[in-house]
Amino acid sequence: MVFVQYRYIPSPFIVLYGLIAFALWHAPIYAWLLLVSAWARRAVILWAVMPFVIVMIFETLTFHTSHFAKLIGYRLYGGFGEAFAIPAKQLKGIQAPTHITPLNFLMSPGLWIGLLLAAACLAAAIRVRRNREPI
């Protein structure tokens, strides 16, 4: 991992890097919500969330595991760990990240798989919106 020290990079650039990294990391979530909003006529948030909840409940009851829940948690919260590296001594207190790891972030398979999924969801949302007849 290549670390870039905080003292060499001005704070606005770290904020900009963080915003870009989190936008890319959460792109599949945004694309999924866009696809569901194009497809569902009512209760969009219910249709967006319920498939994941059902799969998690099914996995827990059937296999007594929580791998799918960990996968969803990684997609929601894992971007910070990929984009920034915080030394162990700073984990005890609340401090700003002192190291950024853009190469680690750009080389993570989770980012690229998520971007491919986001592209597929966006293409499906475009297709659904184009083929929908007027109400």
In order along its 135 residues, the chain shows pLDDT tens digits of: 555 554 556 678 888 999 999 999 999 999 999 999 999 989 999 999 999 999 999 999 999 999 999 999 999 998 888 888 766 555 555 555 667 889 989 999 999 999 999 999 999 999 999 997 654
User: By the 8 A CB rule, do 84 and 99 touch?
Assistant: yes
Whether residue 66 lies inside any domain: the answer is yes
In-domain check, residue 76: yes
**Residue 17 is part of which domain span?**
9-131
How many CA atoms, within 13 angstroms, populate the side-chain half-sphere of residue 57? 6
Count: domains in the chain: 1
| Domain-located, residue 4 | no
92 domain residue, yes or no: yes
